[in-house]
Amino acid sequence: MEFERTTGGAILMDGIRLRDEIIVSLRSTIEADGNPDVCLATVLVGDDKPSRLYVKSKHKKAKEAGLASRHIDLPSNIAQSQLETEVRALADDPSVHGILVQLPLPEGLDAEPVLDLLPVTKDVDGLTERSMGRLVRGKPGHVPCTPLGVMRLLDRYGVETSGKRAVVIGRSTLVGLPQVLLLGRKGTDATVTLAHSRTADLAAVCREADIVIAAAGMAGLVTPDFVKPGAAVIDVGVSRSEAGIVGDVQFEAVQEVAGAITPMPGGTGPMTIGCLMQNTYAAFKMQQYEDTGVELGSGLSL
């Protein structure tokens, strides 16, 4: 397959294009399934502008995919117990299939007990202890959308993982840790290093890698001397500057060395949303399976 390339000759791993392909394909899957009512509910607490924009685009893409969506908007001064009551109602509502609580919550609210209320089948962000446990144990469940989106980009743009060396920069439960698990699992078979803020000589560690995934949230951290010629470089980090959104990777300089690279914006962000839509449909199928006991086949989330 011919791929678009950067001026330096690297394959451009276009997340907008792949997200759109995912949405179109999901829409036809849902149509072929008889257009069932599949509903994603989002919960947003407070007025954080970027969070509000993320949630808005999730609803827009849900509509395009043929999913219904519902939004619960809550004030930043809401009591923890009231927030939990709202989320519990969604958890108990059989017409809601996927629940996304937009994080981070405003100061003073604890996300853990809120996430604990999500049934594992409705946890479309894959962030609860039980979803994470399923990922570790290789059981079916929802995989966090951002690292899942990275895997889809690698696959779509022909980046070989088996027997290759990968470095993941960042060890959060949202991105870095699940990313390591996904890269290292059987069938994907990369040899993975987890780097973090205490890693000594990060540039040298990354230079060993065939795949570098930067999820540190440090603008411009990854320079060309982090990159082995021909390596694939995926930028997850998002920092806001006066010039707009910037990633962890110095795109212009790194694309001269890399074999494949994601743009920022336009790479991992759109993929996160595309994967959320896929997870929501998978959530519906899992709940249908629980209700009917009819075997639905495997590979729902990956």
Query: Which residues have a catalytic role annotated?
Result: 58, 102, 125
Instruction: Identify which of residues 140 and 149 has a Cβ nearer to ligand NAD in the complex.
Output: 149
Smallest separation (angstroms) from ligand NAD to the CB of 171 = 4
Is the Cβ–Cβ distance between 227 and 248 less than 8 Å?
no
User: What's phi and psi for 144, nearest 5 deg?
Assistant: -50, 140
Which region, judged by CB under 6 A, interacts with ligand NAD, from 27-35, 55-63, 126-134, 194-202? 194-202
Q: Please pick, from the candidates 175, 277, 282, 302, the single residue that binds ligand NAD as defined by CB under 6 A.
A: 175
> Site map for ligand NAD, 125-164, x if CB under 6 A?
---------------------x------------------
Using the rule CB under 6 A, is 217 a contact of ligand NAD? yes
C-alpha distances in angstroms, 82 versus 52, 103, 119, 133? Answer: 20, 17, 18, 28
CA atoms within 13 A on the CB side of 206: 28
Angle subtended by helix axes 268-292 and 49-65, to nearest 10: 60
Choose one: 29-37, 67-75, 156-164, 214-222; the region binding ligand NAD (CB under 6 A): 214-222
Considering beta carbons, is residue 83 or 127 the nearer one to ligand NAD? 127
Q: Which residue's CB comes closest to ligand NAD? A: 217
171 binds ligand NAD (CB under 6 A): yes
Interatomic CA distance for residues 47 and 157, integer angstroms:
37
Which 59-88 residues touch ligand NAD, going by CB under 6 A?
A: none
Q: By CB under 6 A, what part of segment 244-283 binds ligand NAD?
A: 268-269, 272
Q: How far is the CB of 132 from ligand NAD (least distance, A)?
A: 14
Q: Is 140 helix (H, G, I), strand (E, B) or coil?
A: coil
**Complete DSSP assignment for 79-129:** -HHHHHHHHHHHHH-TT--EEEE-SSPPTT--HHHHHTTS-TTT-TT--SH
Of 170 and 224, nearer to ligand NAD (C-beta) is 170
Closer by beta carbon to ligand NAD, 90 or else 221: 221
| Helices 15-32 and 49-65: angle between axes, nearest 10 degrees | 40
Sole binder of ligand NAD in the list 101, 215, 246, 276 (CB under 6 A): 215
Binding test (CB under 6 A) with ligand NAD, winner from 12, 115, 169, 283: 169
Structural contact between residues 275 and 257, judged by C-beta atoms closer than 8 angstroms? no
Strand partners, 241: 244
Told to check if 174 binds ligand NAD by CB under 6 A, we report yes
CA atoms within 13 A on the CB side of 63: 7
DSSP secondary structure letters along 28-78: HHHHHTT----EEEEEEES--HHHHHHHHHHHHHHHHHT-EEEEEEE-TT-
- Residues making contact with ligand NAD (CB under 6 A): 146, 169-172, 174-176, 195-197, 199, 202, 215-218, 221, 236-238, 268-269, 272
